[in-house]
Amino acid sequence: MVKKVVSSLGGLLLLFPAMAFASEPTPTSVLLGVNLLWVMVAAILVILMQGGFILLEAGSTRMKNAGHVAGKTIFTVGLGSLIYWAVGYGIAFGENGNLFIGLGDFFYTPSMTITDDVVPSSLFWVFQCAFAVISLSIAWGGFAERAKLSSYLIFTIVFVGFIYPVVAHWIWGGGFLAEDGAQDFAGSTVVHLSGAMAALAATILLKPRIGKYNKDGSANQILGHNQVFTALAVLLLWVGWFGFNAGSALGVDDGFFGFVAFNTQLGAAAGAVAAMLITWIVLGKADITTMLNGALAGLVAITASCAFVDPWAAVVIGLVAGVFVFFSMKFFEKMKIDDPIFALSVHGAAGVLGTLANGLFATPELVAYNGVGKAGLFYGGGWEQLWVQFLSVVVCGAFVFIVSFIVLAIIKSVMGFRVSEEQEIIGLDLSEHGAYGYPEQMKKGTNLNA
């Protein structure tokens, strides 16, 4: 708001409030301001990633579900934010916590400004809230094209209010895995593996979509309806990931956030290239869906390690993730686990890979810089860090899977988890919302069972 300044007729000199408050800015206070600005920008970028998820999930599914898929993302981001404000943040970062859970700061009210060198916690909350709802959006991959809208509502409350914050507390909030020296810079485990494990629980309980498997057990491809959407989705996610990864430096300071961004770019690039080439070689055709998943797998894998490894290792991690995601997609399909958005492969498999990579590639210099854990196996650190990384994957993965499975099983038995066969066939746009998301195109007579 400009008013107070211009109307005081002080001219341009006073246009910016800065000049008023800055009677005695110090280098330290200004650095704090710079760091806050980066956290703000990073939080905005992570929220922008939801645009990527809208497009990725909508583009990977069928036209009859497009409005539902896109719309529910906005709804659950909204609901998740309120829940994280009321409960989740306090469980992750509440001051009166222990090694297993945080407590306090419910219905969080941040300080208005920086006072006495205390950071305005408002921006830290916005950044963390954005992470929580990203993990939630990953989980929706397992719900796609067949879960009831009401199950989204209930699961948002449980996941953002309890499941995710507990894992965040363990690794980032001073919990027991933090004490063990688990390295997960921006959340390969906390955000991506958690989301994927919830998706796994959901997809197992929901069973495959109608038409996904034939009676002889062979699988059909159910193609998504719009690859322009999925390609643009990957680009938006790639862009937002700079906020996700480099933003996790939580400040500009000595420029380390730039090094993190550098590794992020290499990991993503390597993932896309490796996935494209592996499909070209194995299938004889360069499959676009796999390539796009490769870019995302590279990003997911480098998320844990971006601050701990050298650039050449970032390339290796991305390449491995890109190849790995291809075989993971094949594996889950063979296992009769229907994973429409490939959340299990992109966020689960690559999330595990990325977390373990620290145990191999973490360099002594970067470990010392970050002050967390030990160097990796290839740098003379022995097996210790790899074990810690393995442990954090298993513990967090199991916790999220089990709690999600129980909650969703209760939903399933109490109120129903999956829409009826008829509803699934006509699509969730009509069955859950009463109108098509593409009314003009759908009424022309699409084969609804396509």
| DSSP designation for 218 | P
Q: Is 136 in the site for a second copy (CB under 8 A)?
A: no
Tell me how far apart the 2 most distant CA atoms of the chain are, in Å: 81
β-strand partners of 219: 213
Q: Residue 156's closest CA among 147, 423, 186?
A: 147
Which of the stretches 61-69, 138-146, 191-199, 203-211 binds a second copy when contact is defined by CB under 8 A? 61-69
- Non-local (6+) Cβ contacts of 409 within 8 A are 205
Q: Is 341 in the site for a second copy (CB under 8 A)?
A: no
Candidates 100, 106, 107, 383: give the one binding a second copy (CB under 8 A): 107
Which of the stretches 120-128, 158-166, 339-347, 391-399 binds a second copy when contact is defined by CB under 8 A? 120-128
User: Coil, helix or strand for 51?
Assistant: helix
CB of 200 to a second copy, least distance (A): 25
Under a CB-based contact definition with an 8 Å cutoff, are residues 321 and 271 in contact? yes
Taking the CA atoms of 122, 127, 133 and 136 in sequence, report the sign of the dihedral they define: negative
**Closer residue to a second copy in complex, CB, 225/374:** 225
**Closer residue to a second copy in complex, CB, 139/168:** 168
Q: Residue 140's closest CA among 239, 72, 40, 236?
A: 72
CB of 406 to a second copy, least distance (A): 25
| Integer Cα distance of 25 and 46 in angstroms | 30
Site for a second copy in 222-251 (CB under 8 A): 223-232, 234-236, 238-239, 242-243, 246, 248-251
For residues 382-407, one letter each, b for 16 or more C-beta atoms within 10 angstroms of the residue's C-beta and e for the rest, the string is: eeebbebbeebbebbbebbbebbbeb
Q: What is the 3-state secondary structure (H, E, C) of 398-412?
A: HHHHHHHHHHHHHHH
**Closer residue to a second copy in complex, CB, 207/433:** 433
Under a CB-based contact definition with an 8 Å cutoff, are residues 108 and 63 in contact? no
Q: Which residue has the tokens 């009314």?
A: 439
Q: Residue 148's closest CA among 85, 235, 206, 90?
A: 206
**Closer residue to a second copy in complex, CB, 332/436:** 436
Task: Please give the helix or strand (H or E) that residue 360 lies within, else none.
Answer: helix 350-361
Q: Is 3 in the site for a second copy (CB under 8 A)?
A: yes
Which of the stretches 136-144, 179-187, 341-349, 387-395 binds a second copy when contact is defined by CB under 8 A? 179-187
Which of the stretches 19-27, 208-216, 334-342, 404-412 binds a second copy when contact is defined by CB under 8 A? 19-27
Q: What value, to the nearest 5°, has the Cα angle with vertex 125 and ends 119 and 129?
A: 160
In the stretch 149-178, what mask flags binding to a second copy with x, by CB under 8 A?
x---------------------xxxxx--x
Candidates 132, 270, 297, 344: give the one binding a second copy (CB under 8 A): 270
In the stretch 381-400, what mask flags binding to a second copy with x, by CB under 8 A?
--------------------
At position 74, the amino acid (one-letter code) is I
Q: Is 87 in the site for a second copy (CB under 8 A)?
A: no
β-strand partners of 95: 103
**Closer residue to a second copy in complex, CB, 331/438:** 438
In the stretch 403-432, what mask flags binding to a second copy with x, by CB under 8 A?
--------------------------x--x
**Closer residue to a second copy in complex, CB, 149/409:** 149
**Closer residue to a second copy in complex, CB, 77/396:** 77
